[in-house]
Amino acid sequence: MTIKEVEERTGLARSNIRFYEKEKLIQPIKNESNGYREYTEKDVEDIKKIAYLRTLGISIENIHRIILKEVSLSEVIGEQVQKLDEQVVNLEKAKIICQKMLADGKISYENLDVEAFVPELEAYWQSNPKIFRMDSVGFLYMWGGFLVWGILTAACLAAALVTWPVLPDQIPIQWNSGEVSSAVGKIFIFAYPLACIIIRLFFRPCLRNKLQIYTWCYGEMITDYMTNFFCFVILSVEVFTVLYIYGIVKHVTTLLLIDSAVFLGLLILGISCLTSGKMNGEYLDYPEKLK
């Protein structure tokens, strides 16, 4: 059967089906005579099973392992139940405390007495490690914010406008051992702010969709952070280009290595904090990004 028929049989979008193929969760036969994929009844049933497991929060990796019989379905479901149980317990605790606060009458931030609701304060802090873990990596949320992206893009545009009148007709875009290997017209200076816009509008959604499939707990945070990281690199290259033209600096490699070391180092640090929470069975929510 065709992919259109599979869409009708499963109720899923073509993009989902294609993704499962790409991840080799299903492997339809290719008709050599016309180049189209042909799906079997088994493919249809497998697609339904995969989609259903995804709605339960089962990762693509674990579905792979189930299909390859590296782990049983019951084992994976059992692990998922434990994780969901922990979430339910934490939510119930939060709900009870909120109900107590509402029952207290006219409650406000000014008259909020935390010890009245949580007598064992230190133990309560220790029972909520994921909140403080996320607070400790707030720099990731700050650098991933729309405001930071706007500042980086505005800086790229401002640099292009300021330097445009004094730039030579040709500006370098590639270097080799400190020497220019390729140059283009100076209008290219405006490609830098344009690249920041393209990254935000087109690259960011693609990266986010990909990451959320595998790391749905914090995929959006990583996406926004990496988006702004790429924009920062673009700004750095633009500034380097101008400084190179006037003989102030010579090697772009050093600049890019420093950028990468700082940004990727912070990302790894933040992810390690978040992942340690996930390893303990915690599902971390993505808080409202700083604007």
What does 72-85 look like in DSSP terms, one character per residue?
-HHHHHHHHHHHHH
Please, are residues 149 and 189 in contact by the beta-carbon 8 Å criterion? no
For residues 250 and 107, the answer to whether their CB atoms sit within 8 Å is: no
pLDDT (0 to 100) of residue 281? 38
Per-residue pLDDT at 158: 95
For residue 287, the model assigns a pLDDT of 38
pLDDT at 251: 72
Name which of 258, 210, 289 is nearest 19 in CA terms.
Answer: 210
Q: Are 170 and 244 in contact (CB under 8 A)?
A: no
Yes or no: say if 163 and 241 are a contact pair by the CB < 8 Å rule: no
pTM of the predicted model over 0.85: no
pLDDT value of position 163:
93
Please say whether the beta carbons of 278 and 217 come within 8 A.
Answer: yes
Q: Tokens in use for 203? A: 């690259």
Q: At 181, is the secondary structure helix, strand, or coil? A: strand
| pLDDT at res. 93 | 84
**236, two tokens:** 């750095």
- CA pair distance 80, 163, nearest whole angstrom: 57
Per the CB < 8 A criterion, the answer to whether 263 and 229 are in contact is yes
> In the numeric block, which tokens belong to residue 240?
């380097």
| Rounded Cα gap, residues 148 and 235, in angstroms | 13
The torsion of the CA quartet 168, 171, 176, 179, rounded to 10 degrees, works out to: 0
- β-pair type (170-176, 29-30): unpaired
Mean pLDDT by 10 residues, the chain (291 residues): 91 88 88 84 93 89 91 93 88 86 80 81 72 57 79 94 93 79 91 94 82 58 83 89 84 72 71 51 38 35
- Smallest CA-to-CA distance from 94 within 120, 141, 127, 52 is with 127
Which residue, 131, 140, 139, 144, is CA-closest to 277? 131
What pLDDT, on a 0 to 100 scale, did the predictor assign at position 191?
95
CATH class given for the domain over 3-67: mainly alpha
Bridge pairing between strands 170-176 and 179-185: antiparallel
3 state SS of 258 = helix
3-state class (DSSP) for residue 257: helix
- Which residues fall within 8 angstroms of residue 161, CB to CB, at 6 or more apart? none
